[in-house]
Structure 1
């Protein structure tokens, strides 16, 4: 049986509402071209079904052999700002539907 390695989920409160987030993608190289992509987090309302994937820019290239980013190292303020930006961009966390992809800047705005 194959074992899957899921990122742990973290709870956060934004605007008085409870959300759950996890590290969806680590920053790294794209397999299609010599292009880097940034980290992405997956967010959903604790009582909702619809998920949003918030993508960040790649940032500086890590040194060779540098340790990988862990979800616990992502600043809580950055996640909160990214959730606020996703809602401002039209994500409705309590609605049903497909996952929404939202691109933000390095500050989460």
Structure 2
């Protein structure tokens, strides 16, 4: 069985700490009651074990034929604000445990 292809990881520094993030989920249509889902990024501290998945609200669906969202299209400032918001919401990047899901607004706050 082939290994699933993961999105490339990018390094970022927030409040003097090194983090690594990747695009976990592109905006997509969901068959459950949620309908259209926004993007989600997975974040972890470079030296930590615990990961956080930061979910953004859905934006308007893209037009037919529009190019897919690429990780390089995501603003570094947006990712930094989302990481700071995850920490404020209680995510402890150096602790052990299950992945934490955190929902932020479209600005990452």
The TM-score with structure 2 as length reference comes to 0.96
Partner of 1:16: 16
Runs of 4+ in structure 1 deviating by more than 6 angstroms, as ranges, are none
CA deviation after TM superposition for structure 1 residue 34, in Å: 6.7
SS of residue in 2 equivalent to 1:18: strand
Partner of 2:100: 100
* Uncovered stretches (5+) of structure 1, i.e. residues with no partner: none
Partner of 1:71: 71
CA deviation after TM superposition for structure 1 residue 33, in Å: 3.8
RMSD (Å), alpha carbons: 1.0
The TM-score with structure 1 as length reference comes to 0.96
Aligned length: 109
Distance 2:83 2:9 in 1: 15
Distance 1:95 1:33 in 2: 33
* Uncovered stretches (5+) of structure 2, i.e. residues with no partner: none
